[in-house]
Amino acid sequence: MRKLLLVFLILLIPAYLTAGNLGGGGNVTGTGTAGKIPMFSGTSTIGDSGQTDTQARTRHLRFIILDASTAVDTTLCLIPKLASAITVTNIEVTCNVDSDTEIAGDLVYVDSFIGQANPAVINDFDTAAGVRSDNTITNAAVAAGKCVELKFDATPIAAIKEIAFDITYTIN
């Protein structure tokens, strides 16, 4: 089994989008080390936060892929099954080096984690000078029940040790 070296810095992801029992929303953060499953802790807040409906529904999926050339073959599942429909509004990618060979790939959704049938591209995350910032999302709407994944066009080169992602979305 391929050894994944991932550290997830997932902030402000609603717990009801994940399959875990983290409670009813709030902030979720996690860290992991090589060869170990990331540990998550969650806090829930009930009540009026003073935010508008749009502000309260905007979320970020932030994570870092460590040792990308060995951790990623071509596909990495981010959310196995969405509990609610989402709209992706922005993708930010930063590599730890400005390499001659950039990373290229797509943020996609598929019908299910097992089988990965009917892939649909949400947007590419191809970098230039080691970065990508894109708020003109090609196919932003993702229905509930879909699996969200990263699909790399090729394995990142060894010079790229870390790739940081920040995917902004709203809950529909």
Taking residues 132-155, report their average pLDDT. Answer: 94
Query: Distance between CA atoms of 67 and 95, rounded to whole angstroms?
Result: 11
- Prediction pTM value: 0.69
Query: Distance between CA atoms of 129 and 58, rounded to whole angstroms?
Result: 28
**What pLDDT digit, counting tens, does each position of 52-89 carry?**
555 558 999 999 999 888 877 788 999 999 999 999 99
Residue 59: predicted pLDDT:
94
Query: Distance between CA atoms of 126 and 37, rounded to whole angstroms?
Result: 28
Residue 56: predicted pLDDT:
56
Q: Which residue has the higher pLDDT, 19 or 57?
A: 57
Cβ-proximal residues to 53 (8 Å cutoff; 6+ apart), any chain: none
Instruction: Pick left, alpha or beta for residue 36 (phi over 0 → left; psi -120 to 50 → alpha; otherwise beta).
Output: beta
Residue 46 has pLDDT above 50, yes or no: no
- Reading the block at residue 134, the tokens are 């894109």
Where do the domains of the chain lie, and which CATH numbers do they carry?
Answer: 6-171 (2.60.120.340)
